[in-house]
Structure 1
Amino acid sequence: SGTVLLIAFILKVAGSLPPNFILGIFIFGIVIGAYLPAKSGLLMLINAGEIDMNVLMTIAVIGAIAIGEVEEGAMVVFLFSLGNTLQAFTLDKTRKSIVSLMELTPEQALVRRDNHEFTLPVDQIKVGDLVIIKPGERIPMDGRIVRGTSSVDQSSITGESIPVDKHPGDEVFAGTINQRGAMEIQVAKTAKDNTISRLIAMVEEAQSQRARSQQLVDRFAKYYTPVVIGLAVLVAVVPPVAFNQPLVKWAYQSLAMLLVACPCALVISTPVSIVSAIGNAARNGVLFKGGVYLEEMADLTVMAFDKTGTLTQGQPEVTDVLVYSDLKAEELLAVTAAIESRSEHPLGTATIQHAKRNKIDIPVVSGFDSFTGKGATGTVNDELYFVGSPRYIEEHLPVAPEVIDDLQRLQTEGKTVILLADKKEVKGIIAVADTIRPSIIQTLQDLRRVGIKRVIMLTGDNALTAKAIARQLNIDETKADLLPEDKVESVKSLLRTGKVAMIGDGVNDAPALATATVGIAMGAAGTDTALETADVALMADNLSALPYAIRLSKKTIAIIRENIALSIIIKALIMALVIPGMLTMWLAVIGDMGASLLVTLNGLRLLRVKQNP
């Protein structure tokens, strides 16, 4: 239509053709440009009973032709079409984050079945199939490594920029990149059920949900349009009837007002911001389950954390090795690990792993005997040893005062102690603790900088251990020895002081997560339950993205407010031109489409918010 209208304007300036012929070209250009918007508006009016911008534009253009302003009507159609095209182009950028996620997974993969290798489309690969992945290739399916080691770039799923070392038995995700070694994985999920497919589906669903501010704007728009249409009718009728003004002039002003009657910019001011923010968050390993949770994050003042596996690693590690005899520390670890290798206690596992990491040879044990909840005995290098709790060792021999002092100090620090003794004396102490996550102190400091006033720890662990961890992390308040229902009650009491986020693994903490203003689960990439139960899911197994999520939510709220203010101010300024009779139809269209483009471009700024500012 733009080309036809340009030809009509050129022919009019040239003046070489009859006016009626040029008029016909203008009308032809109007019909071409207005057909689809008019059809869309009519369907909206019939099916939903709503008057949108397409209907108002169609009425205005028909009215312009009726009062002889054909060129003005043609300009309105052209500007309207141009504005819609530009708006669609900019809005497409908000969807690129999801499109980029969709393009991550390969369409086919090399599969081994019955000792034969062949390439299959991913939708034909079954659970249990062996998939061969070469260096540099994207992993096509979720699964576990059965052969080979490598490092894998998981940034597309978790947002972590540092590649993760992977070994046999480790989990890998579709869409991530195998970097340096060849691997074979056993498929754990079909293509439609893998982590990235679920992530895409949840992000699309979240983007389609209406945020709280969007609901308010929609309610306002419901009354705004009819009111402005009523004012447009008054503008057309009152001046000519009451003040003997020219009918054509005020009919024209009325038609221009119709073009201002649709609050397009106001209506899209919120969704374009929400869609941009949720898309950006997904690329950085944070899944918001809806715009309402994105908005709620901006108002959080209290954060409650589960301890085990959230603030801490969730795996006991050896922290101290104290020796009281002629044994060396390596020998103490070797003997203890030898006896613990026959038990299934997690503290024993920590000792064995520590010995292996330090390349300590673990000797053979004989005559092993276990006493549940206490300890064990075993013979190593022809010497009988006792391994276990202080109470268990005290049943067999007296414990020296210096050993008791160290025991009390270590227990005060929240550590669990294992004693090794022979028939005569305590040989040494091995202290084991669930260590804090490496980056958690920095993360908590960053949370305070973005507006979190109180940090609370809720744990089922004992008070001594909880207080020791709290001291290390400078946590404001600690509640220990809590059952799941106790955590729910604690969250309810915190809610009386402000908006509260509960952060946990999404499984054991599900009731508390559901009770909080916003429930946040971490490590969701490998946990289906976490994806389902949480309001916000951190795909990586760490909390470093949490301050980013809050900054993004605060930025989103700020941009939504800017957009609403921009759209209202621009509309008000345009409508003010009606009073002196200076409003033109093309100016009304430029104002309306310009405002829509401005709020869209402003919302797109959220795509550039980075995890590490």
Structure 2
Amino acid sequence: MGEKQVFRLQGLSCTNCAAKFEKNIRKIDSVDDVDLNFSAAKLTVHGEATIEQLEKAGAFDHIKVYPEKKKAPIIPFYQKRENQLTMLSLLFMMIGYVFYFQIGEDHALTIGTFLLAIAIGGYDLIKNGCKNLIKLHFDMKTLMTIAVIGAAIIGEWAEAAVVVFLFALSEALESYSMDKARKSIQSLMEIAPNRATIKRDNQLIEIDVEDVRIGDTMIVKPGEKIAMDGIVKEGMSYINEAAITGESVPVEKGDGSTVFAGSINEEGALVVDVTKSSEDTTIAKIIHLVEEAQAEKAPTQQFVDRFAKYYTPAIMVLALLVIVIPPVFGADWQTWIYNGLAVLVVGCPCALVISTPVAIVTSIGNAARNGVLVKGGIHLEQLANIDAVAFDKTGTITLGKPVVTDVKVIRGTKEELLQIAGALEAYSEHPIARAIHKKTQNVSLPEATQFQSVTGKGITATIQDVRYKIGNARLFDGIELPSVSENTVLYVGTEDEVMGYLTVADQPRPGIKEQMKKLHQLGVRKTVMLTGDVANVAEKIGQETGVSDVKAELFPEEKLAFIKQLKQSHRVAMVGDGINDAPALAEANIGIAMGGAGTDVALETADIALMGDDLSKIPDSIRLSKRTLRIIKENIGLALLLKVVALLLVIPGWLTLWLAIFADMGATLLVVLNALRLIRKNEN
């Protein structure tokens, strides 16, 4: 495989045109392979091709090609050449109708004006339709061309002009709608700035992000967008990471904190060590994965594409039968040729073909803007049918940050107990030790010496010539201990007695119970917490969080086995951190990774990644998925219903050419507008 070139496209509005464009590019001798992503309007060429060659391949539909790094210009709707020609065609069509009623439909001036409207509005349509007809390639432009030429032959000039205008208008509105849907990706691409302020040789220079090297020192001023992923070396600030995680509440960042390109520095200046190149930043990976996701066809779309493949020839056969059979039995040839042309027009599969992709594109873009990365239409559809959700406990259902929940004194005072506990744990970085650090941060700690760590038990040290210890029950073997039945217990005492104890527990995420309730309301029948923790602690967390079932004391392979068993009776989503839960995430029908912004593994292993640690995104995503599936079904139903109703009008002879294309255009507009409802933020 040769050199890879990536381009952005403008003017790519229909799937048939995309397929033809791709076919034309493959004919270029220097091109080895082509990958055209219609949804993202993105072209990848393996081999060599100039922009001139590519635009020549897309000249039939006026497709413009731009290098990937260059932003395609935004051309207002009214400034596009094809839209201006459509409006000019409308003007001549209206003048033609004035002549039609004033001097008659057969007058040379009337016919000439309608012919001018057809030539202006339908030049590209008829030119490409005739080429397709010669090659026996039947798409919607071929069908329309046959209809227009047929109408002209039988003297229906006004009808031919209306068909041309309405088809051009339909194409223009379809293009506008697809551009609007694609803006979900374009808005992501515009999140990160193109230039960064870098300190090199004690000088501040502003350079393109492509020229920034890993290890460079980046300076971020207050109010600026962060240009590159990195780690804070100096400074403290609050960062708005809404563009990455969907969470609008600013996050405090200081020395050692990770920052992401595209987030906004709200307060203090930061000195950041760059850790990723511009093409490897988190936002760059999100954009890439969203584009790939939108290119992947959902099951419904695959079905529609297969259906359309047989539908178009069937319509052509039906049109031929309408033209031939009635006249064989004595009916008027001209009337039934006209009716057959109307069947061709109304039978265009445009609305049907676009019904699914526009909904998928819009929905995945909506999710990405809200901090949820869905890696394909298939996952979006499957999520709507999930009826069981399994959660890892630590760091998923809980915060993964233990806190001291209780302090019990047996001898002495509470302050003395906290002083001893704080002094003994002062130099430990264990998560439980950090919980004690936080609890004792306002307590004056005595000096401890002669520290000794007892593996699997705790710590001993000397304070004012007395040997103290803190740890689990095994550290106090032989000493009578108070009975404590829940959470992690740290006993504090001397060699001879226990002075008291601290209970430490991981805390459930705020609002978790409400999220579980929402899941159950959305049709999730079973919510399960999977944990390696002891049963009594797990049950307590389970009660606090509102899950319907708890499975405790599980090894990773047992989590995997449980997911396999659950799949036999349910459609299962597994929620975890994407690292130690990778096997279970992969086994579930849908794998959902928490905190995807912080881990590449989560982005790669899961079907859906929550870029932040917000569990409320799960019910939101299921709701969006259900809305998407509902809208897709509505679109397919609308498209087929309008076609069937219009075709039935052939029987009494009521289906006119203008009514046929109005039905086709109406169906296309209805499905597109219906799908664009998904741009709105998720509804409750």
Place the TM-score, normalised by the shorter chain, in its bin.
over 0.9
Measure the CA separation in 2 of the matches of 1:589 and 1:375: 80
Counterpart position of 2:45? none
Amino acid at match of 1:384: R
Cα distance, 1:353 vs structure 2: 3.3
After superposition, the Cα gap between the structure-2 partners of 1:4 and 1:562, relative to the gap in structure 1 and judged at 3 Å, is: closer
Cα distance, 1:376 vs structure 2: 2.4
Counterpart position of 2:205? 118
Counterpart position of 2:7? none
**Contact kept? 1:321, 1:430, Cα under 8 Å:** yes
1:6-47 deviation digits (Å, cap 9, x = unpaired): 236526735799944553443343233223234555677799
* Aligned pairs (5 A) from 1:270-289: 270-289=356-375
After superposition, the Cα gap between the structure-2 partners of 1:495 and 1:567, relative to the gap in structure 1 and judged at 3 Å, is: same
Q: Any idea what SS the aligned residue of 2:570 has?
A: coil
Cα distance, 1:237 vs structure 2: 1.0
* Aligned pairs (5 A) from 1:493-512: 493-512=565-584
Cα distance, 1:429 vs structure 2: 0.5
Cα distance, 1:283 vs structure 2: 0.9
Counterpart position of 2:317? 230
**Contact kept? 1:5, 1:25, Cα under 8 Å:** no
Q: Does 1:332 align with 2:417?
A: yes
Amino acid at match of 1:597: L
Measure the CA separation in 2 of the matches of 1:343 and 1:104: 40
Counterpart position of 1:185? 272
1:447-473 deviation digits (Å, cap 9, x = unpaired): 112111111111222223222211222
Q: Does 1:298 align with 2:384?
A: yes
After superposition, the Cα gap between the structure-2 partners of 1:43 and 1:552, relative to the gap in structure 1 and judged at 3 Å, is: farther
TM-score of the two chains, using structure 2 as the length reference: 0.83
**Contact kept? 2:579, 2:601, Cα under 8 Å:** yes
Out of 454, 468, 474, the residue aligned to residue 371 of structure 1 is 454
Q: Does 1:212 align with 2:299?
A: yes
Cα distance, 1:167 vs structure 2: 1.5
Cα distance, 1:343 vs structure 2: 4.2
Out of 566, 573, 577, the residue aligned to residue 649 of structure 2 is 577
Counterpart position of 1:454? 526
Cα distance, 1:189 vs structure 2: 0.9
After superposition, the Cα gap between the structure-2 partners of 1:7 and 1:471, relative to the gap in structure 1 and judged at 3 Å, is: closer
**Contact kept? 1:8, 1:22, Cα under 8 Å:** no
1:103-152 deviation digits (Å, cap 9, x = unpaired): 11111121112221111111111111111111211111111111111111
**Contact kept? 1:304, 1:456, Cα under 8 Å:** yes
**Contact kept? 2:114, 2:158, Cα under 8 Å:** yes
Counterpart position of 1:59? 146
* Aligned pairs (5 A) from 1:320-359: 320-326=406-412, 328-356=413-441, 359=442
Amino acid at match of 2:482: I
**Larger relative contact order (C-alpha < 8 A, sep ≥ 6)?**
1
Q: Any idea what SS the aligned residue of 1:141 has?
A: coil
Amino acid at match of 1:393: F
CA RMSD, Structure 1 to Structure 2 (Å) = 2.1
Gapped regions of structure 1 (runs ≥ 5): none
Measure the CA separation in 2 of the matches of 1:439 and 1:151: 23
Measure the CA separation in 2 of the matches of 1:507 and 1:585: 60
1:562-612 deviation digits (Å, cap 9, x = unpaired): 11111111111111111111211111111101110001101111111426x
Counterpart position of 1:194? 281
Structure 1 range deviating more: 37-46 or 587-596: 37-46
Cα distance, 1:443 vs structure 2: 1.3
Amino acid at match of 1:438: P
Measure the CA separation in 1 of the matches of 2:312 and 2:96: 38
Q: Does 1:553 align with 2:625?
A: yes
Out of 673, 679, 683, the residue aligned to residue 601 of structure 1 is 673
Cα distance, 1:424 vs structure 2: 4.0
Amino acid at match of 2:98: V
Measure the CA separation in 1 of the matches of 2:179 and 2:134: 28
Q: Any idea what SS the aligned residue of 1:432 has?
A: strand
Out of 318, 322, 331, the residue aligned to residue 404 of structure 2 is 318
After superposition, the Cα gap between the structure-2 partners of 1:480 and 1:130, relative to the gap in structure 1 and judged at 3 Å, is: same
1:287-344 deviation digits (Å, cap 9, x = unpaired): 1111111111111111111111111111222221111222x32332222222223445
Out of 245, 252, 257, the residue aligned to residue 338 of structure 2 is 252
Counterpart position of 2:65? none
Counterpart position of 1:466? 538
TM-score of the two chains, using structure 1 as the length reference: 0.93
Amino acid at match of 1:269: S
Counterpart position of 1:26? 114
After superposition, the Cα gap between the structure-2 partners of 1:72 and 1:110, relative to the gap in structure 1 and judged at 3 Å, is: same
| Number of equivalenced pairs | 596
Q: Any idea what SS the aligned residue of 2:225 has?
A: coil
Counterpart position of 1:404? 482
Amino acid at match of 1:27: L
Counterpart position of 2:231? 144
Amino acid at match of 1:389: N
Q: Any idea what SS the aligned residue of 1:299 has?
A: coil
Amino acid at match of 1:515: E
Q: Does 1:533 align with 2:605?
A: yes
Q: Any idea what SS the aligned residue of 1:315 has?
A: coil
Q: From the two aligned structures, give the one with the greater helix fraction.
A: 1
After superposition, the Cα gap between the structure-2 partners of 1:388 and 1:9, relative to the gap in structure 1 and judged at 3 Å, is: closer
Measure the CA separation in 2 of the matches of 1:450 and 1:83: 37
Measure the CA separation in 1 of the matches of 2:409 and 2:148: 92
Out of 442, 462, 466, the residue aligned to residue 383 of structure 1 is 466
Measure the CA separation in 2 of the matches of 1:92 and 1:236: 39
After superposition, the Cα gap between the structure-2 partners of 1:235 and 1:181, relative to the gap in structure 1 and judged at 3 Å, is: same
Out of 553, 560, 566, the residue aligned to residue 488 of structure 1 is 560
Out of 90, 95, 104, the residue aligned to residue 177 of structure 2 is 90
**Contact kept? 1:153, 1:164, Cα under 8 Å:** yes
After superposition, the Cα gap between the structure-2 partners of 1:494 and 1:202, relative to the gap in structure 1 and judged at 3 Å, is: same
Amino acid at match of 1:313: L
Structure 1 range deviating more: 342-351 or 502-511: 342-351
Counterpart position of 2:476? 393
Measure the CA separation in 2 of the matches of 1:428 and 1:40: 87
Amino acid at match of 1:339: L
Q: Does 1:102 align with 2:189?
A: yes
Measure the CA separation in 1 of the matches of 2:671 and 2:119: 29
After superposition, the Cα gap between the structure-2 partners of 1:529 and 1:41, relative to the gap in structure 1 and judged at 3 Å, is: farther
After superposition, the Cα gap between the structure-2 partners of 1:494 and 1:106, relative to the gap in structure 1 and judged at 3 Å, is: same
Q: Any idea what SS the aligned residue of 1:303 has?
A: strand
Q: Any idea what SS the aligned residue of 1:519 has?
A: strand
Amino acid at match of 1:404: P
Sequence identity of aligned pairs in percent? 49
Cα distance, 1:157 vs structure 2: 1.0
Cα distance, 1:282 vs structure 2: 0.7
Measure the CA separation in 1 of the matches of 2:187 and 2:589: 31
Cα distance, 1:153 vs structure 2: 1.1
Amino acid at match of 1:246: D
Counterpart position of 2:595? 523
Structure 1 range deviating more: 100-109 or 343-352: 343-352
Counterpart position of 1:157? 244
Measure the CA separation in 2 of the matches of 1:426 and 1:380: 16
After superposition, the Cα gap between the structure-2 partners of 1:11 and 1:371, relative to the gap in structure 1 and judged at 3 Å, is: closer
Measure the CA separation in 2 of the matches of 1:66 and 1:42: 15
Gapped regions of structure 2 (runs ≥ 5): 1-84
Q: Any idea what SS the aligned residue of 2:507 has?
A: strand
Counterpart position of 1:37? 125
After superposition, the Cα gap between the structure-2 partners of 1:8 and 1:277, relative to the gap in structure 1 and judged at 3 Å, is: closer
Amino acid at match of 1:391: R
